[in-house]
Amino acid sequence: MRFVGIDLAWGDRNTSAVVVLEPRDASYETLQTLEWHDALGSNEEIVRFVGSIDKGAGLLIGVDAPLIVPNIHGERPCETQLRRCFGRYEAGPLPVNQRICGGRLRGEGLLHLLRTTLGTTPEYRFPPLEPTVRRCLEVFPRSAQCALFHLKRSLKYKAKSGRSLQSRLAEYARYATLLESLETARPSLLPPSWLSEVPKRYGRELKRYEDRLDALLCAYVVATYWHYGEGEHCCVVGDSRHGYILTPVTPELAICLRKGAAQA
């Protein structure tokens, strides 16, 4: 079984990062980093890289990018629902529609390529601990951070006007420390060696480090989902037809999301 996290750039100009996790032993309780790449270009390049670590058995991929976007205008129902519960944590998702993306949605292209090349489908329903499952699911790191690390507000490490480099570097260090703390979680994540090496200045290196952190978190999220399935640890918001987002949850967030689903 292998778990892949992809931080997918929306456009072609920026690079994407991929982190691959594998269970350390047959107990599946501890995950270790098998492989990573933080400067991948096209979808073809990404699929080639994922294909290079695929053993043909179980493969679960988590992508930080919209994969199913049928709506022309407005936002997807899963985004509305997610914002209602995560908005107070300043972790609401970006509304996505075909108009914003100019009708050219990179995630859909990647999903298609992964399906035809590696046989991973976007169907999110499968029994936990199924060792031969091959799926590709949309995940959202910002909500995952709030739920996994019990944050009151999302981490502010993204470049934004008025945000100093110093404050961003502090948030990166915090993010890295929080990811390291997953060593004592279930499943346990052995921190990769690069995790504590936060770049000290602006530039490509910092951007790629950021992508790697998000890709690592995406991989961990799908691994958690594989372990527990949908329930008190993880929720799938939305559906395969209108688009969905997989996110870890706290018990309070699970109640909020269930309430939202009942109203929808």
Partner DNA sequence: TGACGACCCTCTACGTTCAT
Partner DNA sequence: ATGAACGTAGAGGGTCGTCA
**Order of strands across the sheet that contains 188-189:** 134-138, 59-63, 2-7, 16-23, 30-40, 188-189
**Does residue 181 contact residue 173 with C-beta atoms inside 8 Å?**
no
Task: Report in angstroms how near the CB of residue 125 gets to DNA at its nearest.
Answer: 26
Task: Report in angstroms how near the CB of residue 95 gets to DNA at its nearest.
Answer: 4
**With respect to DNA, which residue has the nearer C-beta, 56 or 203?**
203
Residue with tokens 């995630």: 107
**With respect to DNA, which residue has the nearer C-beta, 1 or 245?**
245
Specify the 3-state DSSP secondary structure of 208. helix
Task: Report in angstroms how near the CB of residue 177 gets to DNA at its nearest.
Answer: 18
**With respect to DNA, which residue has the nearer C-beta, 141 or 248?**
141
**With respect to DNA, which residue has the nearer C-beta, 113 or 133?**
113
Task: Report in angstroms how near the CB of residue 152 gets to DNA at its nearest.
Answer: 12
**How far apart (Å, rounded) are the C-alpha atoms in residues 19 and 60?**
12
Task: Report in angstroms how near the CB of residue 106 gets to DNA at its nearest.
Answer: 8
Where does this chain bind DNA (CB under 7 A)?
7-14, 64-65, 73-75, 80, 83-84, 87-88, 90-95, 97, 99-100, 141-142, 154, 156, 158-162, 165, 201-204, 206
**How far apart (Å, rounded) are the C-alpha atoms in residues 87 and 80?**
10
Label the pairing between strands 2-7 and 59-63.
parallel
**CA separation (Å) from 209 to 5, 19, 79, 168, 174?**
14, 12, 27, 12, 14
**How far apart (Å, rounded) are the C-alpha atoms in residues 50 and 15?**
15
Task: Report in angstroms how near the CB of residue 249 gets to DNA at its nearest.
Answer: 17
**With respect to DNA, which residue has the nearer C-beta, 156 or 186?**
156
Closest among 200, 228, 241 to 71, alpha carbons compared? 241
**With respect to DNA, which residue has the nearer C-beta, 1 or 114?**
114
